[in-house]
Copies of this chain bind each other. A is one copy, B any other.
């Protein structure tokens, strides 16, 4: 063990995130305070039909972006729903697709220096039309990007989970 948590105080609680200040003790006896943004975690989906990868564009208020290009994605905010189920639901809600094949690609921390957010990344292929209703996604626009333009999409992408998904697609899955 490099450290153990010996105390934790919640300092703010919002609709999505909670902030706490932890006290940790290292194995050499040193102690320190760490600020942690607790987040429920998220999923993101690389969905392609062999010709196009399906992305979405949406306003991202925290970073002042009017239309950020991203993978279909969503928070793990439904009680009792696992990551793969959330991925399936989000794919239907955001781009109106289901998939015959699902594959877990990797799971990573978004910003492990200050947040515990974990992102589960999936590949969805054998796509078919599927519909799902959601009121939260009304500002999302679907962007079909030809796989022949994948390099351009990677160079323009400014969202970490989407960059990982598109780079993984190009490197290992095409």
Contacts and interface: CB of A to CB of B under 8 A. Distances in A.
A5 B5 CA distance: 38
Interface string A1-27: 111010000011011110101101010
Given A12-B12, A167-B171, A170-B171, A113 B66 contact: no
* Interface residue range, chain A: 35 or more
Given A26-B139, A164-B164, A60 B21 contact: no
A157 B2 contact: no
Interface in A104-123: 106-119
Interface of A: 1-3, 5, 11-12, 14-17, 19, 21-22, 24, 26, 33-37, 39, 42, 59-68, 70, 75, 106-119, 139, 154-155, 157-161, 163-164, 167-168, 170-171
